Amino acid sequence: MRFVFKAVNLLNNEIVTSHVEAPGREEAIAMLGKKNLRVVNITEESSSMGNSAILAFIKKVFKGGQSTAINIDTQSLLAFFEKLHRMVSAGLTVSDSISTINKRTKVVNELALTSSLLSDILSGVALSYALKKAIPNIDNNVYSIVLVGESSGNLGLALVDAVALLRRGVEFKKKLISSLTYPAFMMSMVVVVIFAFAFYLMPMIEDFVKDLGGDLPPLAKILSKFAKALTYVLPVVAVVGIIVVILIPIIRKSAIGRYKTDEIILNLQPFSSMVRLSIKTNLTNVMATLLSNGVNTSNALEIAKLSIANKVALKKFLSAKTDILNGDSVCMAFEKYGVLDGEACDFLAVGEKTGDLASSFKYIYGMYVDDLNATMKKVVASTTAVALTIVFSLVGLFAFSVVQVMVSATAAASSMGGGLD
C-alpha cells in the first residue's frame, strides 16, 4: 500500500511531505518514526481520484500549491499560549519554548502550529508575524498584544494579556452556547408539536368525529389549518435561510456589501447592544494593554483599529483618530463620533488630565465587561421567555381544541345513541 504523509523532521523541525510504501497505516507510521519523522497527517493514496480529490487538486493548481494556513480553534490556541507563557516566564527563549511544546505535544493542530512557528522564528521572523502567517484569521486583538509585547521587550507580560483575552473569549462562547441551548430546544419542541398535531393527532380525531356524524369546533379547524400551513411555510423558511447563509459571504466580499451587512449586524435587535458592547470591550482592552506597555497614543490608536472588525464602527473610530491626531482630546473625539459612551468618556477625561490614560482604559474595560455580561443575561432571559411563551401558548391552544373536539365527539355520540333509541 502507498501512503501520502506530512511529518516533522525531529532533527531539524522541518516539515516533510512525501509518500511511503508499507503493508498498512501503522506500519507506515512506524517506518517513518525510525527515520526521526513524526507524522502529522497520513492517508492512503487512492488509484482513482474521486470528485472531492479532483476538486482539491484543481484548487491546489489555481492557488499555486497547498495553503500554509493552519486551522486551529480558540480552545487549542489558548492551550498553546498557556504553555508558551509558562515556559517564557520560566526563562526559556521563544524558540526553545516552542521547540519543547513541539516535541511533547500529541495534538495534531498544535504540532502543525508549533512546526510552522519554529520554522519561521529560526529563520529570523518575529513571533507576531509568524502567528499571523500560520493563522491568517487569528484574533487581531491577540496579534496586536503579541506585536506590542515584542516591540516593547515585554513579551512575558503580553502573553499574560493574550492568555487572559483568549480565556475570556472561550468562557464567553461557552456561556452564550449554554444559555441559548434551552431556548433552542424549546423552539424545536414547538416544531415537533406542530407537526404531530397537524399530521397525526388532528387527522385521527377529525376522522373519529366525522364517523360519529359530528364536526370539528371552529377553534380546532383554525388550528388545524394553521398547523398545516406552517408545515409548508417552515421548509420554505429553512430553504430561504440556507440561501441567505450562502449569499452573505459572497455579498460581504465587496466593500459596500461588507459595510451594509455590518450596519445590519450593528442594529439587529435584540443583539445590537451585545454587539456594540463587544466592540467597545475589545477596543478598550487593547488600548489599555498598548498604553500600559509604553506605546504612545498615536501608535496605540493605529494598532487598536485592528481590533474593530465591524466596518461601521471602524469608520467612526478612524474619524475620531483623525481628530485626535489633529489635536483634539481622546475623550472629546470618542464621544463626538460615538466610539465610546458619555460615562466612559468622562473617565477618559480624568485619565488625560492625570496623564494616566492606560488606567482609565483599563477601568472602562472592566466596566464594559460587566455591562456585556449583564446584557447577555438579559438577552438570553428575554429570548427564553419568548420561547416558553410560544411553546406553552401553542400547547395550551392545542390542548383546549382537543378538549373541544372530545366534547363535540361525545355530543355526537350521544345524539347518535338517542337516534337509535
Tell me what pLDDT residue 319 has.
94
How far apart are the C-alpha atoms of 267 and 128, rounded to whole Å?
Answer: 34
Mean pLDDT, range 131-153, rounded to an integer: 82
Tell me what pLDDT residue 379 has.
79
Q: Pick the more confident residue, 279 or 398.
A: 279
Which class for 34: exposed (0-12), middle (13-18), buried (19 or more C-beta within 10 A)?
exposed
pLDDT in tens, 196-248: 776 777 777 777 767 766 666 777 777 777 777 777 787 888 889 899 888 88
pLDDT greater than 70 at residue 134 = yes
Mean pLDDT of all residues in the chain? 79
pLDDT in tens, 262-313: 899 888 877 788 889 888 988 898 888 888 877 788 888 888 887 788 899 9
pLDDT greater than 70 at residue 59 = no
Q: Supply 275's cell numbers.
A: 454587539
pLDDT greater than 90 at residue 40 = no
SS (H, E, C) 322-350: HHHHCCCCHHHHHHHCCCCCHHHHHHHHH
How far apart are the C-alpha atoms of 128 and 150, rounded to whole Å?
Answer: 8
- Which segment, 30-44, 220-234, 335-349, is predicted with the most confidence on average? 335-349
74-166: in CATH 1.20.81.30: yes
Tell me what pLDDT residue 63 has.
40
Mean pLDDT, range 133-161, rounded to an integer: 82
Mean pLDDT, range 245-264, rounded to an integer: 88
For residue 161, how many other CB atoms are within 10 A of its CB? 25
pLDDT greater than 50 at residue 256 = yes
Cβ(279)–Cβ(273) under 8 Å? no
DSSP state of 199: I
DSSP state of 355: T
pTM (predicted TM-score): 0.63
Percent of the chain at pLDDT > 70 equals 86
2-63: in CATH 1.10.10: no
Strands across the sheet with 2-9, in order?
A: 14-21, 2-9, 37-44
DSSP state of 70: -
Domain edges within the chain: 2-63, 74-166, 183-421
Q: Supply 222's cell numbers.
A: 383554525
Q: Among candidates 245, 365, 376, 263, which has minimal Cα distance to 307? A: 365
Sign of CA dihedral 65, 66, 68, 69: positive
**Lowest mean pLDDT across 4-18, 110-124, 287-301:** 4-18
Q: Pick the more confident residue, 169 or 360.
A: 360
For residue 48, how many other CB atoms are within 10 A of its CB? 5
Q: Supply 211's cell numbers.
A: 364517523
How far apart are the C-alpha atoms of 137 and 164, rounded to whole Å?
Answer: 19
